[in-house]
Structure 1
């Protein structure tokens, strides 16, 4: 007999679910807790346990809510969350559905900044090994910044004042907001495929939220990937962004970046003046040295008495010619002697003589081989005749030539008179033919 007082587990669970979902106090809960058992599912959802010293509760933050997080939750992290309570029917347990989350005690942006900085540092993006030197005299500079901000005016004014011959191209980007990071990445990609000697990327100062585009991972990796030297000039001197660490050089301000990118005209002019003065000094010194040499040559014996010098040199030339002639004859004589010696040595090892010796040795070996083959053939022939004679003695045909015969009955050799009866056909094989016979009578030898 049924009793309506008893509920099913499903009915009870659904009832509790409606109770939890309709309680307005449970629709918007603010909670401080520690994260454990954190799992970021491949579909984007985040599952975790929120706990304190006395209790714990299962929680989930769906992909739609967590895609805007500026930090990555980790086990052991204390967080501030806003959530609502629901009940997961298949297991009959209540859990939190998180709508918003941020680290406790430190801002979410700062937490994300520290996490990304640590991650990229471990990957080596900040290493000095990857830092590229700035060109001393650039011909084309790319400026990646807002086209309307104070930063671009400071950069352009400084470059024109210090190094007016350089070409400057402004690559306009959004320096804050959701479109900022993609536009920065696109500008870096454009610069990579065009003829720039150095890039300046940056903007004026601001809050961490306003400077956040330069802390995005995509921007940091784009700066690291570009093959052109990059100067980062983001914010004021006390502001540090991820872009500053990845860039080849960090400038405290946009003006400082422009000063790093180009040399100062006054310094170049001063250096040119120094080089010109040094060159003039070297030319004057060289002129004096050569003038002194010329004066010494003019005062020398050769210039004062050229005819006597010429006669002396003619005599020296004759002596040198005689020495050369004697040396040449001696060299020819020594060469002839060496040639004769080598020719005699060569005749001793001449290939023709060696071939003649080898031919004589071959003839002797061939003669010995023929003798050995003749003797071997004679021995084999004698042995063959001897074996043939022995075989002839055992040949039954030779025995049959002496008058013996072999009798058969239906291809069976007859060895006894018991094998035949009167009237049987018998074949008698002699040495020169066969006799077909019919048995008329059989007589057994009683003496045997």
Structure 2
């Protein structure tokens, strides 16, 4: 069994024909059973008759009733082999027919291809198609360029209408008009203010104390304060007399209350200071 297991066989048959119990007892040996269980080669037993069973039958990979059955187990039936070959032959024929059909269909496709059938005519046809496409492309380009030019002109017109330069010119004209109106208004305002100033100056001149002084009146002050009443001054006080053309420093000799005026003898030691 060891030599057979190392021989690289497809299967090993352990068989014996019929015999007595003692004749078959060697197949119950423990070493035989253990060796069969550990063998790497496929093992089949066929010991004795169908009713005979040994430990070797349980340890082998397959147990058969007789040696003939063991031989039949590992040998395929000729009919089955023939059927297998027929099946494979039919499959091969079917596969080859399918390959041939595919090749025939591909050949018809190649034969019907205009490029393969007549390459020159195909190339001329494609050249004509290319020329037609090129003509359409040039026409489309020209139409597109014209449309873009028209659109550009329209946009330029709109831009000129919305241009800040035109608006600036309008605003400059308007600014000039406003400047002219402002100058006229300022002149009219200055003229009015000048007229008003003249009127106020005339009124101021008319009500000026200097005008009153020019008519013979005088302003009397003592210690920087105007004297409004004779009771406000004492005899002997020094006073300043303002005339229209100068001032006088005088001394009061006496005061007379209740009188509207004073004689020339009421004043004494008058010193003029022009």
Sort the TM-score into its range (normalised by shorter chain).
0.3 to 0.5
The normalised TM-score by structure 2 is 0.48
